[in-house]
Amino acid sequence: MACCTTGAALLVSRETFRIPPIKGPKMSVDEKMARRIATLARIGVSDAQLPALAKELSAILGFVEQLSELDTTGVKPLTSAVETTMMGREDVINDGGYPADVLANAPERDDDYFAVPKVVE
Amino acid sequence: MTNKNLIAGATGDWEIVLGLEVHAQVSSNAKLFSGAATEFGAEPNTQVSLVDAAMPGMLPVINQKCVEQAVRTGLGLKAQINNYSVFDRKNYFYPDLPQGYQISQFQQPIVGEGVIDIDLDGGEVKTVRIERLHLEQDAGKSLHDQHPNMSFVDLNRSGVALMEIVSYPDMRSAAEAQAYVKKLRAILRYLGTCDGNMEQGSLRADVNVSVRRPGDPLGTRCEIKNVNSIRFIGQAIEHEARRQIDIIEDGGSIAQETRLFDPKNGETRSMRSKEEAHDYRYFPDPDLLPLSFSQEFVDTIAASLPELPDDKKARFIADYGLSPYDASVLVSEGENADFFEAAAAGRDAKATANMVIGSVFAGLNKAGLSISESPVSAEQVGQLVDLQSNDTVSSRIAKEVFELMFEEGPDQGKDPAVIVEEKGLKQVTDTGAIEAAVDEVIQANPDKVEQARERPKMAGWFVGQVMQATGGKANPQAVNKLVMQKLGLEE
C-alpha cells in the first residue's frame, strides 16, 4: 500500500518485494506437486531440481498469502484495474489469407498444413 | 405411475440421467477475436490471422456481432442475460491449440439459466432447464489419416466463436436427448445465431451419461465427446448406458472419464490422453477487459426476435386448426413453415398441411432437395388444394398431379389446372358413367359378389376395381355408394 504514495515509488526497490521469512515449517508445494505443475506446463524438470523448485514455489506462495491477512468480505473480485469498457470490432473480414506467413515458423509442414508427431485418440 | 423410460437390467430396473453440452458455432463473418473469415471448407490455414496462430504479442479484440448473437440466443432460451461477464483462459496443450489455452468463460458467463420445451412422442412436452451459455474460441482441426506417423493441423477453425450451451441433467432417455438437440437446433436456426449444420461441425454435443436405481442419488457420469449427429447421439447413449449397467451389475464401479463414440461399431471407448488434462487452471484473461453492455443493448435485440418455434406451433394450432403433430412438423424449420403459410393463404389449411407434409416434404426428402429448391411452388400447391377442395380432382389424382408437377421441375412448371386439363384427369361425377363401370365389374366377378355378401368388407375390392377401370378419375364417394347399393349392402 505504502509503496505508491510518492513518484519515486515507481522505481520499485528490491526491498519492496523482498520475500519475507516463512513463518514456521510451511511447505505448501511438495515435490509431488512441483512435478505435477511442471508436467501441466510441459516444462522438463529433473528429479534433482525438484526439492529446490518445491521450496521456491512454496516461498512465493507464502509471500502472496500475506494478502489473505486482509479482510475482503463484501469486496468483489477485481478482474481488471482499468476503469474502462472493452472496445469491440465490427464483424468484418479484414485479416487472414497468408498461409505462408502463418506457417513460416512451423518446424515441419506438408503443403499448407502444420505437420506434428501423430496424436491419435 | 410406471416410468416408460426405465431400462431393465439383470438385477432390476435402471434410470438413465443425461445432461448435454452443445457447442454451437456462432453465425458471424469474422472470428471471435480476430478479423479472419469463418466460412467452412476453405484451403488449409488461409483463414488464419496472426492472432489465431497465437504469434507472440498479438492481442484479441472482441467481435461485437458474436456478443450480440450470444445475447440473442440467450433471449431465445428465455434465459438470464448477464450484462457483465468475464473471459478466462482454460489451459491445456494440444497441437491444434496454438495459444496453449482456450479463451472461454468460466465463473461469469454471458448467459445464465434458461429453459427449452422439448417435443416428445404423442404430443407430450417436457421442460429441460439450461444452466448457462458462454462464449469461447474453437480450436483448430487435426487430421490423423493423411500420413502414417504425422498429424496435420489446419487452424482455419481456430478462434471461431462458439456458444457452449449447458443443460441441467434433466433428460431421462436417448429420445429425450435427441428431442432436445432437435429443438435447440430449431431455435438457433430461427434466431439466425447458428446454422445448425451438424455434418460441418457447426453443432456438436458432449453427452454426460450416468445410470441409477430410480429414486437414488445421481450416479458417476461419463462424458461422451463431440457426437455430431442426432442419430449418433441416440446410439452413443444406448450403448454407454448399457455398458455402465453391465459394469455395476457385475459388481464394478464407474470411473468418471471422457469417452469417444465410434460410429463404425456404435460403441464408446475411453479417451486416455485426456485423463491428465482435467486441471485446466482457469484464470481471467489479462488481455481482455470484462465484457459489459447496457440493458438498452439487450432490449434492442429482444425487440428484434423472430417468432420462435413454440409460438409458431401454438399459432398454427389456434389459427389453422392443425393437430399438434402436424404443427410441430411444419415449424421444425422456419422455411418449411413459411412455405406452408404461403400455400395455405385463403384456403383449407388442414388439406394444405396434409399436402405439404404428405407430398411436398416426402417428395423433397426422396429427391434430397431443400424447401428452397422445391420444383413445385407454394402457390401451385395452393392451387392444387383448391382443385381437390372443389372436387375437380380426387385426392388420389391430386397426388398424381403433384408428382407430375414435381418431375417437370420449376422450368416447365405448369400450373395444376393446366395439367388436369391436358391429361384429362378431371374427376368423373357423372353417375351414369360410374354406374356402367360398377355394373361391368360386378358382372365380370360373380364369385366375388358372393363373397362380398358374406363379408361386406369385400366391397372395398369392388371400389378399387372401379377406380382402376376409370383411371382413378371417378369420384370415390360416388363409387362407394353405388357399389354398396348394387351389392345390396348397408352403407
Mean pLDDT of chain B: 90
What's the average model confidence in pLDDT over A43-51? 94
> What does DSSP say about strands B88-91 and B62-63: parallel, antiparallel, or unpaired?
unpaired
Q: Which of the residue ranges A85-89, B120-124, B127-131, B157-161 would you say has the lowest mean pLDDT? A: B120-124
Q: Are B211 and B248 in contact (CB under 8 A)?
A: yes
What part of B 336-355 touches A (C-beta under 8 Å)? Answer: none
The residues pairing with B50 across neighbouring beta strands, listed in sequence order, are none
pLDDT at B273: 53
Measured in angstroms, the CA of B197 and the nearest CA of chain A are apart by 21
User: Residue B171's closest CA among B199, B206, B129?
Assistant: B129
pLDDT band at A13 (very low <50, low <70, confident <90, very high): very low
A97 chain-B contacts, CB cut-off 8 A: 46-47
- Considering only CB atoms, A97 lies closest to which of B46, B95, B144, namely B46
Whether B78 shows a pLDDT value over 90: the answer reads: yes
pLDDT at B164: 98
The arithmetic mean of pLDDT across residues A76-86, rounded, is: 77
Name the minimum distance, in Å, from the CA of A88 to any CA of chain B.
Answer: 5
Q: In terms of CA atoms, which chain A residue is nearest residue B149?
A: A118
Contact between B174 and B234 under an 8 Å Cβ cutoff? The reply is yes
**Closest in A42, A88, A97 to B93, CB measured:** A42
**Radius of gyration of chain B measured on its C-alpha atoms:** 29
Q: What is the dihedral of CA B53, B102, B278, B40, to 10 degrees?
A: -80
> CA B137 to CA B32: how far, in whole Å?
7
* CA B454 to centroid of chain Cα atoms: 50
Higher-pLDDT residue of B454 and A65 is: A65
pLDDT at position A14: 42
The lowest-confidence range among B9-18, B222-231, B311-320, B450-459 is B450-459
- What average pLDDT does this structure show over B175-183? 97
The average pLDDT across B131-155 equals: 95
The yes-or-no verdict on residue B393 having pLDDT over 50 is yes
Q: Tell me which residues of chain B, numbers 244 to 303, contact chain A at a CB-CB cutoff of 8 Å.
A: 260, 271, 273, 276, 279, 281, 284, 288-292
Domains belonging to chain B, first-starting first, are 7-301 (no CATH), 307-423 (no CATH), 431-486 (1.10.10.410)
Q: Do A101 and B50 touch (CB under 8 A)?
A: yes
Lowest mean pLDDT among A26-30, B50-54, B377-381, B443-447: A26-30
A-B interface: how many C-beta pairs under 8 angstroms? 137
Per-residue pLDDT, B172 = 96
More confident residue, B421 or B262: B262
Is the predicted pLDDT of residue A115 greater than 90, yes or no? yes
Other beta carbons less than 10 A from residue B283's beta carbon = 13
Position A13 in a domain: no
* Whether A119 contacts B273, CB under 8 Å: yes
Judged by CB atoms closer than 8 Å, whether chains meet at A92 and B30 is answered as: yes
pLDDT, tens digit, for every residue of B348-370?
Answer: 999 999 999 999 999 999 988 88
- For residue A104 the three cell numbers come to 513460416
Looking at residue B150, what is its pLDDT? 94
User: Residue A63 falls within a domain, yes or no?
Assistant: yes
- Whether the CB of B147 is below 8 Å from some CB of chain A: the reply is yes
Judged by DSSP in three states, A43 sits in coil
The answer to whether the CB of B201 falls within 8 A of the CB of B25 is yes
The sign of the CA dihedral B230, B232, B238, B244 is negative
User: In angstroms, rounded to a whole number, what is the distance separating the alpha carbons of residues A46 and B218?
Assistant: 43
Q: What is the mean pLDDT of residues A101-118?
A: 95
CB contact (8 A) between residue A119 and residue B36: no
pLDDT for B2: 57
Contact list, A82 vs chain B (CB under 8 Å): 289
| CB proximity A83 to B under 8 Å | no
The per-residue DSSP string of B250-308 comes to TT--PPP-EEEEETTTTEEEE-GGGGGGG----EE-TTSPPEE--HHHHHHHHHTPPPP
Crossing angle of helices B416-423/B395-412, nearest 10°? 110
In a domain, A33, yes or no: yes
pLDDT average, residue stretch B227-239: 95
Q: Which of B240-254, B292-306, B430-444 has the weakest average pLDDT?
A: B430-444
In a domain, A106, yes or no: no
ipTM > 0.85?
A: no
Confidence of residue B413 (pLDDT cuts 50, 70, 90): low
CB atoms within 10 A of CB B412: 9
Q: Residue A25: its pLDDT value, please?
A: 45
- Would the pLDDT of B318 be above 90? yes
Domain total for chain A?
1
Interface contact B358, partner A, CB < 8 A: no
For residue B350, count other CB atoms closer than 10 A to its CB.
Answer: 14
Position B124 scores a pLDDT of: 86
Distances (CA, A) of B16 to B170, B213, B219, B252, B263: 10, 9, 9, 18, 21
* Average pLDDT taken over every residue of chain A: 80
d(CA B349, CA B338) in angstroms, rounded, equals 13
A39 part of a folded domain: yes
- Cβ-in-10-Å burial (0-12, 13-18, 19+) of B386 comes to middle
For chain B, the straight-line distance linking the first and the last C-alpha, in angstroms and rounded, comes to 43
- Burial of B413 (C-beta count, 10 Å sphere; 0-12/13-18/19+): middle
Query: Which residues of chain A neighbour B153 with C-beta distances below 8 Å?
Result: 113-116
Is B134 in a helix, a strand, or coil?
A: strand
Q: What residues in A contact B142, CB-CB < 8 Å?
A: 119
Query: Which A residues in the span 10-69 are in contact with B, Cβ-Cβ below 8 Å?
Result: 36, 39-40, 42
Query: How many Å from the N-terminal Cα to the C-terminal Cα in chain A?
Result: 51
Structural domain containing residue A49: 28-67
Q: What percentage of chain B reaches a pLDDT higher than 70?
A: 96
Q: How far is CA B483 from CA B232, B326, B480, B491, in A?
A: 52, 34, 5, 10
* DSSP helix/strand/coil, B345: coil
pLDDT computed for residue A24 by the predictor? 45
Q: Which three cell numbers stand for residue B73?
A: 440466443
Q: Is residue A57 part of a domain?
A: yes
A4, with CB counted inside 10 A (0-12, 13-18, 19+), is exposed
Mean pLDDT of B122-135: 94
Chain A nearest-CA residue for B48: A96
Best-predicted range by mean pLDDT (A38-52, B176-190, B279-293, B383-397):
B176-190
Give the pLDDT of residue A45: 94
Statement: residue B136 has pLDDT above 60: yes
Give per-residue burial for B211-227: e unless 16+ CB within 10 Å, then b: bbeeeeeebebbbbbeb
Kindly determine whether residue B152 and residue A79, on different chains, have CB atoms separated by under 8 Å: no
CATH of the domain at A59: 1.10.20
